[in-house]
Amino acid sequence: MKHLLSMEDLSTLEIEQLLDRAAYFKQGGKLEGDKKLYAVNMFFEPSTRTHHSFEMAEKKLGIETISFEPGESSVTKGETLYDTVLTMQALGVDIAVIRHKEEHYYEPLKALDIHVINGGDGCGQHPSQCLLDLFTIKEEFGTFSGKKVVICGDILHSRVANSNMQVLKRLGADIYFSGPREWFDASCAAYGTYLDIDQVVEVADVLMLLRVQHERHQADGAVFSKADYHAQYGLTIERAAKMKKDAIIMHPSPVNRDVEIAGCLVESEQSRIVAQMQNGVFMRMAILEAVLNEKEAEMRVCTL
C-alpha cells in the first residue's frame, strides 16, 4: 500500500489488517523502528477532525509534522498541487495527507515517491473516515455480516456515503438508505433499498447520519429549513426512542445539532459519535504505518 487514495483500491484482507492494527494502537501499541520520519498535512478545505486526528496520529507515532497553510504558500502565486507536493518530496517529507476540493486530485500525484493519503477529494472518497467507521462498527458488533446499516441524509454529495455503501456491502452488511428522496440516486439502488426514516429507526443496527451540507446546497437550490429537515428526516428524540436497544448512532461530524440529530442525542448512550473521533486517531495510526511499511519494503528491496 504505497498510497491510500480510495476504498476501492483496498482488498478485504487489507481492510481487515488495518482494523487489527488500529485495535493494536488503541491498546497502546507502538510503531517499530527508530528512523526519523516527516509528514505534511495539506488541507485545502477546512477541517477540524480529519486534520488534527492525522496530526495527533503522527505525534503518537513519533512522526514529525511539517506545517502547511495553503493561503501562505506559493499556491497563491499559481503553483500547482503537483509542484507543491513535488517540493515537499524534495524537502525530504515522507507522507503527504491531502484534502482538496477537486475529485481525483491525486491522479497526477501517483507518479511521485512521496506517500499520499487522501483526506477527502471533493464529493469523491474519504477513505480514512470510512475505515474509522468500519472500526467503530466492528468494535461494537465484532462483525459486519448481516448487520443492518442505514445511511441517512445527503447521500449524493457525501464522500462518506460513497465509500461506506460500497465497502460495507462487500463486508456483508445489509445497506439501507433514508433522507430526502431527491438525494437518493439511482446509482445507490445497486447497494441498498430506500426506506422512510420512521421505518429505519426500528430496523437499524447502525444508523449513520450524514451532515446536511448547507454550504454546498445553496448553489443547487435544494434547501430545507433546519426545523423542517429535522422534523421530516432527522433523528428526533421520539424516533430515537423507537431504536433497538443495542443499535448505535453514528455521524462523521461536524454535526448540525437539531438538524440531522437532536442536540441532546449527540453524547447519548447509544451514540458513538465521540467514539468515532477517538477511534479516528488509532485508525489513522494504522494507515500511516501501512504506507510506511511499503516504504520499508521498498528500501529492503533496494538494499538487496
Q: Footprint of a copy of itself on this chain (CB under 8 A)?
A: 36, 38, 40, 43, 46-49, 51-53, 55-56, 59-60, 64-69, 71-80, 83-84, 86-88, 90-93, 214-215, 253-257, 266-267, 274, 277-278, 280-281
Q: Can you tell me whether residue 42 is helix, strand or coil? A: strand
In whole angstroms, how close is the CB of 85 to a copy of itself at the nearest point? 10
Please say which residue, 55 or 121, places its beta carbon nearer to a copy of itself: 55
Please say which residue, 99 or 147, places its beta carbon nearer to a copy of itself: 99
- What are the Cα distances from residue 131, in Å, to 83, 119, 128, 238, 286? 29, 12, 5, 30, 10
Q: Provide the b/e sequence for 152-164 (b: ≥16 CB within 10 Å).
A: bbbbbbbbbbbbb
In whole angstroms, how close is the CB of 13 to a copy of itself at the nearest point? 29
Please answer whether residues 169 and 221 qualify as being in contact, where contact means their C-beta atoms are separated by less than 8 angstroms: no
In whole angstroms, how close is the CB of 277 to a copy of itself at the nearest point? 4
Angstrom distance (rounded) from CA 299 to CA 5: 22
Contacts of 190 (CB under 8 A, 6+ apart): none
In whole angstroms, how close is the CB of 253 to a copy of itself at the nearest point? 7
Burial class (CB in 10 A: 0-12, 13-18, 19+), 85: buried
In whole angstroms, how close is the CB of 192 to a copy of itself at the nearest point? 28
The distance of Cα 197 from the centroid of its chain, to the nearest Å, equals: 23
Please say which residue, 41 or 125, places its beta carbon nearer to a copy of itself: 41
Beta strands in 153-302 (DSSP E): 174-178, 192-194, 206-209, 248-250
Please say which residue, 82 or 194, places its beta carbon nearer to a copy of itself: 82
- CA 91, 89, 163, 166 dihedral sign is negative
In whole angstroms, how close is the CB of 10 to a copy of itself at the nearest point? 24
Please say which residue, 74 or 145, places its beta carbon nearer to a copy of itself: 74
Please say which residue, 47 or 236, places its beta carbon nearer to a copy of itself: 47
Please say which residue, 23 or 56, places its beta carbon nearer to a copy of itself: 56
List phi, psi (to 5°) of 205. -85, -35
In whole angstroms, how close is the CB of 42 to a copy of itself at the nearest point? 10
